[in-house]
Structure 1
């Protein structure tokens, strides 16, 4: 089934309001269940089978996982060949409050395709602002589009207040379940899969922009086999977050960790959860 330019599988039908069989829950083996110290966690595969859950419907800040929805809106609104001129406001916005940036400079002109890499690999707040400014147009209108998209996808416990996930006076929140559903939907996009599965993206210098080299902050791509992406996040209020996906036992497995205690710990735990889900799948 194709909806809004994305191919929707049966496992994703709940996201778009199509009826499906009841969701199965994998039987846990206590001796092999990974220890998860994050505040919330959730792991589900492409058949809809839930392999792990911990406070998965609790509303929490998700830091830069917000940028996954930013990418979703941009992919619906933009052409990848569109060119955006970076402004001084984008640069200033990206450098506030210790935000991570893509190192953009005012006056540069970059394609939407390249800005998606700048958004999702180094988690550039400057890239997020440039995209929101163009495709809102303006941040307020863009955030409204993010929230309408969340509603249309059935993310009932998600509310966005900006396009980058940085601290906000009226912080938005989401849940592990909602973030997994969003990732499942976006992973149907070949463009998104390519971007989040890339370890390093280089933009060669040209007459209209500087050279850029962006490294993916998702260390799970190098740490484990069969990893597809997806996105890291951190602010003090949210802790260390990770939205991750991989292939195990012939199925796509998507997981979420929110409120983690350490940067490295989230990657180790995610690998354990992927392997745990794989054991459950192959043992069916």
Structure 2
């Protein structure tokens, strides 16, 4: 895994270690409902069914933080982590887009980077296609490329098994994957908790490759074999709307509702949070949580995506 250097990566590593503390320790560290220290602002009131927030190695806020819920396209954070952790030397490898990737998007009515059959893109480019427009076609391409087996089905199932193995390595006790993109199977075995999602985000952001991708509000990437230019916009509208936000991923399905995992950096503080099953505006919930962490009040004007850009 490529790492960003210096103090920032050390803080992120400490955060990941702290966040993997036992559920009891995490719960004990969170403010009780209605309780606050003298002079401290009250914990935020959020509409989401599940939420979690940590500042460095200090858990700040939780709401059903260890309850398992569907995670929609925030699944793709782990898709990217498996690639940058286990295949860092393959980032410039070229991958040919197959028609089956486009068929998957059509059949699932899934979010897409609109990859064109026969185009060749590097793995690094596919990470942008995965994380900015939330391309399920890009997720399929990465799983098919790095899974093992004789068929697409075998390779993608192998890749999902690698995702679950990585979850175990990171101590994500309330996380399980049954898909490479968040389009859960009939049994619905694709879940995480806000706490686990924040742990995963801390780990992911310690990769310079991942951090560079998710902080981009847009990108233009040219196919390697044809004169085709892809333009992708980041579906995370908190990025560019709230000062200091550095990522990371949206998600939304009927089963999961709107989801968001986010991070912001101000001065010496790197704050990471997660929202599952938002009942209203997930971005407003996230802004309230960040205001609580940074002891401020923000009037946020939400960034608009260009007409025709995918929203996740």
Q: Give the alignment's TM-score, normalised by structure 2.
A: 0.81
Q: What corresponds to 2:78 in structure 1?
A: 69
1:214 aligns with 2:239: no
Q: What corresponds to 2:308 in structure 1?
A: none
User: What's the secondary structure of 1:72's corresponding residue?
Assistant: helix
**Residue 158 of structure 2: which of 138, 141, 145 is its match?**
141
Q: Which runs of 5+ in 1 are unaligned?
A: none
Q: What corresponds to 1:165 in structure 2?
A: 182
The answer to whether the 8 Å contact 2:41/2:292 transfers is no
Shift of residue 209, structure 1, vs aligned partner: 6.0
Q: What corresponds to 1:10 in structure 2?
A: 14
Q: How many residue pairs are counted as aligned between the two chains? A: 271
Q: What corresponds to 1:252 in structure 2?
A: 270
Q: Distance in 2 between matches of 1:206 and 1:145?
A: 28
**Alpha-carbon distance change, 14 to 151 in structure 1, aligned in 2, over 3 angstroms:** farther
The answer to whether the 8 Å contact 2:140/2:180 transfers is yes
Q: What corresponds to 2:104 in structure 1?
A: 93
Q: What corresponds to 2:198 in structure 1?
A: 180
Shift of residue 104, structure 1, vs aligned partner: 0.5
Shift of residue 175, structure 1, vs aligned partner: 0.5
Q: Distance in 2 between matches of 1:106 and 1:211?
A: 14
Q: What corresponds to 1:196 in structure 2?
A: 214
Shift of residue 80, structure 1, vs aligned partner: 1.1
Shift of residue 205, structure 1, vs aligned partner: 5.3
Shift of residue 45, structure 1, vs aligned partner: 1.4
User: What's the secondary structure of 1:220's corresponding residue?
Assistant: coil
The answer to whether the 8 Å contact 1:16/1:152 transfers is no
Shift of residue 97, structure 1, vs aligned partner: 2.8
Q: Distance in 2 between matches of 1:206 and 1:147?
A: 32
Shift of residue 150, structure 1, vs aligned partner: 0.3
Q: Distance in 1 between matches of 2:227 and 2:99?
A: 14
Report which stretch shifted further, 238-247 or 161-170: 161-170
> 1:126-180: per-residue Cα shift (whole Å, max 9, x none)?
0000000010131100000000000000001111001000132122111111000
Q: What corresponds to 1:111 in structure 2?
A: 122
The answer to whether the 8 Å contact 1:167/1:235 transfers is no
Q: Which runs of 5+ in 2 are unaligned?
A: 4-8, 149-154, 297-312
1:37 aligns with 2:47: yes
User: What's the secondary structure of 2:220's corresponding residue?
Assistant: strand
